[in-house]
Amino acid sequence: MPADSPARATARETIALLTGAAGFTEHRPPSHPLPPDGPLGWAGYDAARERAGTRTGEEESVVYGTGFVGDRACVLLAFEFGFLGGSLGRLTGDRLAAAYELALTRRLPLLALVATGGSRMQEGMVALTQLQRVAAASTRLRAAGLPQIAVVRDPTTGGGWATVGAGADVVLALPGAQVGFAGSRVRPADADPHAYSAEGQFAAGQVDAVVPPGELAGALTHWLRALGPHGALPAAPLPRARSAARLPETGREAVAAARDPRRPRAEAYLADYFAARLPLHGDRCGGTDPGLLCGFGLRADGLPVAYVAQCGTPTRPAGYRAAARTIRLADRLGVPVLTLVDTPGAANDAEAERAGAGAAIADAFAAVAEARVPVTTLVIGEGGSGGALALAAPDNTHVTADSYFSVIAPELAAAILKRPPSETGATADQLRLRPQDLVELGFARSIVS
């Protein structure tokens, strides 16, 4: 990547890109000088630090302090890659720990602008154990319900990626940035370079979005508004029905209406519901499911709501893991959740089984059950068995007129009962899967019109 690329901007240039005229107030931790040539007595280390300081104008590889991004106050920390490759040493650890503590004390979000080559070898294990300090500080911030956002620049590798970067609640990346645990000089010679790029990490579900520098300040302003911290928030309002479908008279009609390709899908509901949407992408285990949309959104009145929306396809294990991740993050930050149910059921192919379908569905059930924030569910299409129920809120599920919910698809029920296909409609009636049946059975609270 060229040296003048926005992803290779200095720490202070990157901060200025985000804070603009609002400015930035730098903080410094108490001084604890290193012994001569560092804790290992590495010959020439002091001279290397002095040259790095002269070249960059910095005292260490991290700058931190407070500032405003848009109208939101936050703690910013930025790595200076020009200072010994943005590497982490003991003094870097002091600054990182102090930045997290500042966010904790002032109850502000933490925004990390990462560009690092990893731990500083001239400090050996003293440098490596700074990762444990960062992990502990991040955990304290998480326990306090304060959000952490990372913007990974070029390059972001090693322990800095595996803690400050990938450990954040939301991970954004600049286009073309090198991102990965293994740096360019230590990865296998035949490794696919795409896997170590911002775009490759996005494809693998490790990065939530790749954002051009010119759009970064706006995106981060929305994220800071959505993630808080907030006071007590109300439950997510119910979406409006997106069709004028009448209530079905039979079970067969209910199934046909839910499967009608002209029926409004999740994208239409979300576009109507939110003024701004901020997607979360991937399950952080290397998987993505394009049939499940997750993220946070801001309504026209400013209310933040987290969303999990099925898109009418069989939901894959990665989708359930992404859903659980979203619901747990919303719960920790005190943001209400909206789920849109629309799936014929969980994916049941061999690949899904190898990817842990059962465990992923169980985790989604657990995330909904554990949530302390209100979860609101609207069934907008097919409600196919446990694969749909995993994302439905007990006692707060609503349905549209063009939806159904069933313990099993009527075709499969007829097959199990050894009935001919001609009896599928009668089987659908027996299953009582129509919207009005679901209300009468006590599963749904209302039919949204």
Report which of 16, 328, 281, 22 is spatially closest to residue 173, judged by C-alpha positions.
281
pLDDT of residue 2: 42
pLDDT of residue 362: 98
- Mean pLDDT (the chain) is 95
Separation CA 366–CA 358 (nearest Å): 12
Separation CA 390–CA 369 (nearest Å): 10
- Averaged pLDDT for residues 395-401: 97
pLDDT of residue 312: 97
- Cross-strand pairs, 341: 379
Task: Count CB neighbours of 73 within 10 A.
Answer: 14
Query: Does residue 389 register a pLDDT over 80?
Result: yes
Report which of 294, 297, 269, 274 is spatially closest to residue 284, judged by C-alpha positions.
294
Instruction: Write phi, then psi, for 398 (nearest 5 degrees).
Output: -125, 160
**Sequence letter at residue 131:** L
Place 247 in a pLDDT band, splitting at 50, 70 and 90: very high
CA dihedral for 221, 225, 226, 229, sign (positive or negative)? positive
Which residue pairs from 53-61 have beta carbons closer than 8 angstroms and sit at least 24 positions apart in sequence?
A: 53/83, 55/82, 55/83, 56/10, 56/80, 56/82, 56/83, 58/11, 58/82, 58/83, 59/28, 60/89, 60/91, 60/92, 60/95, 61/85, 61/86, 61/87, 61/88, 61/89, 61/92, 61/116
pLDDT of residue 42: 98
Q: Per-residue pLDDT tens for 264-297?
A: 999 999 999 999 999 999 999 999 999 999 999 9
- Averaged pLDDT for residues 213-240: 96
- Structure-token pair, residue 187: 């990865």
pLDDT of residue 40: 97
Could you tell me what percent of the chain has a pLDDT over 90?
92
Place 7 in a pLDDT band, splitting at 50, 70 and 90: low
Helix (H, G, I), strand (E, B) or coil at 1: coil
Query: Does residue 5 register a pLDDT over 80?
Result: no
CA dihedral for 68, 137, 79, 287, sign (positive or negative)? negative
pLDDT of residue 335: 98
Q: Per-residue pLDDT tens for 192-206?
A: 989 999 999 999 999
Query: Does residue 213 register a pLDDT over 50?
Result: yes
pLDDT of residue 3: 41
Q: How far is CA 225 from CA 70, 108, 208, 303, 304, in A?
A: 10, 12, 17, 9, 8
Place 186 in a pLDDT band, splitting at 50, 70 and 90: confident
pLDDT of residue 9: 92
Task: Count CB neighbours of 148 within 10 A.
Answer: 21
- Structure-token pair, residue 105: 């004390």
**Sequence letter at residue 211:** V
Q: Per-residue pLDDT tens for 107-160?
A: 999 999 999 999 999 999 999 999 999 999 999 999 999 999 999 999 999 999
- Cross-strand pairs, 447: 399
Report which of 100, 118, 259, 223 is spatially closest to residue 181, judged by C-alpha positions.
118
Q: Per-residue pLDDT tens for 292-325?
A: 999 999 999 999 999 999 999 999 999 999 999 9
Q: Per-residue pLDDT tens for 79-90?
A: 999 999 999 999
Report which of 104, 97, 116 is spatially closest to residue 28, judged by C-alpha positions.
97
**Which uninterrupted H or E stretch holds 266?**
helix 266-273
Task: Count CB neighbours of 67 within 10 A.
Answer: 20
Report which of 64, 326, 10, 71 is spatially closest to residue 220, judged by C-alpha positions.
71
